[in-house]
């Protein structure tokens, strides 16, 4: 269904980046002046956007600080528990689990040579549903004269956490200049222009690429009657959280009720492209909203991806009730019966007991 334009979307993602390269409510402050001061609309927008983005970042962090590291240590405790209780029977299983998790994390970083399961987990944290739909169609609809082994690693990178970190590092440096261009185009005042540039450093800015639409629509990418109506590329700011299909994460209150619902952070280079189509076969229209990702959000999302790849369960496209991986974790215990180890187990148990008494454990 998406054959005529899936590959074109990826080409447009690269074209957008190349085209851009050259060029919670706040408390009221006390009134310490003799006359009222009214904030400009631009300043209000910057303050509100910064507050919303910072709130999203903090809420994601509060769910489980360093979730990837938490899941890593939770796994280590589980491995040692298995090895201590059944050394002969669990050694191969533990080694296999470690190898699978290590391969998933290493390959998932840049989405190179991943398994289908790893790629699906990563894409949940780097794209929304519509971007993932288009992204998933690309491999099967490349032109006949294109070698998939050469082009697919590049395409996969566009949807990877590594591309999110790349966009996050570039965004705060580029976004103020995009905001300057947008303000000049909109004929903003000098004060609003400066405010918008400062705000873009924190919250990002979107480059409108509609000027390229006539060239793209005349290039023959799309079937008869299908038209691209909008194209943009979103650059993140320091606090840009992105927007992805995983989650939202739900936090339960004392009575088991949902106390908070937290949208996940995340993104990728591919997710930074915004597209609107009309005349799409079967669908009629297709809207891919761009979401900018900043450096903090990109690294935070990578931590959540690592946690998901290591088995935390922080993955999926619906509401997820989250529990910090180390919550309720137990230190491994040696077996106390059924094993004849020549007294070594008893000695180790006595040693652990002595240490427990020493530290008051």
What are the DSSP calls for 315-353, one per residue?
A: --SS-EE---TTTT--------SS---TTHHHHHHHHHH
pLDDT of residue 30: 40
Residue 36 gets which letter from DSSP? -
Residue whose pair of structure tokens reads 């580029």 in the numeric block: 174
Instruction: Tell me the pLDDT tens digit for each residue of 235-269.
Output: 999 999 999 998 888 887 788 788 888 899 999 99
pLDDT at 355: 43
Structural domain containing residue 200: 6-17+41-327
CB 253 within 8 A of CB 259: yes
In a domain, 32, yes or no: no
Residue 48 counted as domain residue? yes
| Domain contains 22 | no
Statement to judge: residues 303 and 275 lie in one domain: yes
Instruction: Verify that 219 and 108 share a domain, yes or no.
Output: yes
Q: Are residues 284 and 174 in the same domain?
A: yes
Cα 75 off chain centre by: 23
What integer pLDDT is reported at residue 320 of this predicted model? Answer: 78
194 lies in the same domain as 335 = no
Residue in the structure block whose two tokens are 């369960």: 313
Q: Where are the beta strands (DSSP E) in 209-299?
A: 227-235, 249-252, 258-262, 273-280, 284-288
> Which regions of the chain are under pLDDT 70?
1-40, 140-141, 317, 328, 337-361
Q: Are residues 207 and 351 in the same domain?
A: no
- Please give the tally of structural domains in the chain: 2
* Same domain assignment for residues 163 and 227: yes
Alpha-carbon distance of 128 to 303, in angstroms, equals: 18
pLDDT at 338: 53
Kindly report the backbone phi and psi dihedral angles of residue 328, in degrees, each rounded to the nearest multiple of 5, phi listed first: 75, 10
pLDDT of residue 140: 67
Q: Compute the distance between CA of residue 9 and CA of residue 134 in angstroms, rounded to an integer.
A: 8
Contacts of 2 (CB under 8 A, 6+ apart): 133, 134, 137, 141
Residue 36, pLDDT score: 42
Evaluate whether residue 205 is within a structural domain.
Answer: yes
Q: Based on the fold, state whether residues 220 and 353 are members of the same structural domain.
A: no
The answer to whether residue 97 is domain-embedded is: yes
CB atoms within 10 A of CB 319: 12
Domain match, 207 and 348 both: no
How far is residue 162 from each of residues 167, 302, 327, measured CA to CA in Å? 9, 9, 29
User: Do both 82 and 123 map to the same domain?
Assistant: yes
Q: Is residue 224 domain-shared with residue 254, that is, in the same domain?
A: yes
Residue 213 lies in a domain: yes
- 285 part of a folded domain: yes
Q: How many CB atoms lie within 10 A of CB 290?
A: 23
* Shared domain check, 356 and 265: no
Are residues 124 and 247 both part of a single domain?
yes
Please report which helix (H) or strand (E) contains residue 206, including its range.
Answer: strand 205-208
* 31 within some domain: no
């Amino acid at each position: 269904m998406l054959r005529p334009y899936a590959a074109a979307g990826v080409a447009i993602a690269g074209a957008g980046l190349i085209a851009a390269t050259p060029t919670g409510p706040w408390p009221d402050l006390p009134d310490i002046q003799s006359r009222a001061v009214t904030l400009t609309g631009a300043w209000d927008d910057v303050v509100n956007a910064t507050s919303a983005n910072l709130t999203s970042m903090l809420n994601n962090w509060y769910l489980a600080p360093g979730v990837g590291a938490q899941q890593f240590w939770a796994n280590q405790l589980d491995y040692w528990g298995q090895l201590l209780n059944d050394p002969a029977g669990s050694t191969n299983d533990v080694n296999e689990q470690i190898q699978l998790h290590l391969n998933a994390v290493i390959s998932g970083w840049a989405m190179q040579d991943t398994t289908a399961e790893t790629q699906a987990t990563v894409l949940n944290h780097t794209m929304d549903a519509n971007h993932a739909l288009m992204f998933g169609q690309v491999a099967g609809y490349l032109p006949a004269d294109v070698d998939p082994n050469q082009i697919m690693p590049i395409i996969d990178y566009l949807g990877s956490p590594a591309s999110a970190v790349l966009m996050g590092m570039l965004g705060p440096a580029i976004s103020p200049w995009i905001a300057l261009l947008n303000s000049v185009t909109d004929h903003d005042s000098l004060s609003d222009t400066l405010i918008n540039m400062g705000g873009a450093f924190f919250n990002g800015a979107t480059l409108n690429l509609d000027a390229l639409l006539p060239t793209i629509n005349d290039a023959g990418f799309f079937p008869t009657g299908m038209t691209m109506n909008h194209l943009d590329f979103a650059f993140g700011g320091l606090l840009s959280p992105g927007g992805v299909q995983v989650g939202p994460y739900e936090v339960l209150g004392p009575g088991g009720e949902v106390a908070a619902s937290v949208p996940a952070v995340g993104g990728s280079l591919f997710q930074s492209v915004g597209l609107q189509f009309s005349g799409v076969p079967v669908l009629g229209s297709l809207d891919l909203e761009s979401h900018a990702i900043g450096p903090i959000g990109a690294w935070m999302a990578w931590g959540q991806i690592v946690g998901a790849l290591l088995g935390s369960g922080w993955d999926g496209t619906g509401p997820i009730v989250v529990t910090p991986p180390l919550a309720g974790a137990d230190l491994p215990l040696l077996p106390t019966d059924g094993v004849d180890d020549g007294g070594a187990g008893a000695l180790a148990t006595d040693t652990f007991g002595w240490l427990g008494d020493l530290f008051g454990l």
